């Protein structure tokens, strides 16, 4: 579904991603892990079209999207949920969700997607008239993911969905991601909880200073020395 081939990405002329390649097959959950500053978020932003590669290519369903705008990339079926969440605080939960469906013209599909999101995150249904800015951090993260699902994405990219959440909410958030995977949604996941991210992943990639240093199944990566020492404290 997604094929990223030997991309180089720069900030202010300075390379931060070097010759990185990875791919995501339909129905897979692929995790990208690495230390802070390794380039994980930059990769997602580049696929989402907020950044463009200086070199290399990005293909989605065999179409080159390397220079496409973010709007066009969303229309093609890629949704990016950033770590900052970026919900609309003065709008209600339901208004936030419906804004996520701005590319969907079918009212029945919008209502179906609303029901799906409320089924995945029941607390949002009870809060549907509440302003986004009054939600807890965990509820705002649920809202951000729910809004991303409202466009019926073919590929859902999640950037640190557990960041800043209490341990109980971290578990709930990762369970929701696992549920989405179980329902066949294709997911590209960046997550600070490395063990959990790799345990649920079909495949994964380890980034270090903007380069891919390991790739393999989630199980294989959990057995590598660098993952054990750097992320699992073993």
1-77+154-234: CATH, from 3.40.50.740, 3.40.190.290, 3.40.50.300, 3.30.70.20: 3.40.50.300
Helix then strand then coil, in percent of the chain rounded to 5, is 40, 25, 35
3-state secondary structure of 138: helix
| Among 125, 127, 108, 109, residue whose Cα is nearest residue 117 | 125
- C-alpha 206/C-alpha 191 separation (Å) is 12
**Structure pTM?**
0.94
Would you kindly state where each structural domain of the chain is located, as residue ranges? 1-77+154-234, 86-152
Q: Contact 187/173 with Cβ under 8 angstroms?
A: no
Going residue by residue through the chain, which has 234 residues, state the pLDDT in tens, using 9 for 90 and above. Answer: 999 999 999 988 889 999 999 999 999 999 999 988 899 999 999 999 999 999 999 999 999 999 999 999 999 999 999 988 889 999 999 999 999 999 998 999 999 999 999 999 999 999 999 999 999 999 999 999 999 999 999 999 999 999 888 888 888 899 999 999 999 999 999 998 999 999 999 999 999 999 999 999 999 999 999 899 888 775
Segment 186-200, tens digit of pLDDT:
999 999 899 999 999
């Amino acid at each position: 579904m997604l094929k990223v081939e030997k991309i180089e990405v720069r900030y202010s002329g300075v390379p931060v991603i070097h010759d990185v390649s990875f791919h995501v097959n339909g129905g897979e959950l692929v995790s990208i892990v690495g230390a802070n500053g390794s380039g994980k978020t930059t990769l997602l932003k580049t696929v989402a079209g907020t950044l463009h590669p200086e070199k290399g290519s990005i293909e989605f369903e065999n179409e080159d999207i390397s220079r496409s705008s973010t709007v066009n990339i969303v229309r093609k079926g890629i949704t990016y949920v950033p770590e900052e969440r970026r919900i609309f605080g003065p709008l209600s939960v339901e208004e936030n969700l419906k804004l996520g469906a701005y590319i969907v013209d079918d009212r029945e599909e919008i209502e179906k997607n609303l029901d799906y999101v409320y089924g995945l995150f029941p607390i949002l249904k009870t809060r549907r008239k509440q302003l986004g800015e009054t939600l807890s951090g965990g509820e705002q993260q649920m809202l951000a993911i729910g809004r991303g699902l409202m466009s019926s994405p073919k590929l859902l990219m999640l950037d640190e969905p557990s960041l800043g959440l209490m341990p109980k909410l971290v578990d709930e958030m990762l369970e929701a991601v696992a549920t989405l995977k179980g329902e066949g949604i294709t997911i590209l996941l960046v997550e600070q909880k490395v063990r959990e991210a790799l345990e649920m992943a079909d495949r994964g990639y380890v980034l270090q200073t903007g380069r891919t240093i390991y790739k393999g199944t989630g199980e294989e990566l959990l057995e590598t020395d660098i993952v054990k020492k750097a992320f699992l404290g073993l």
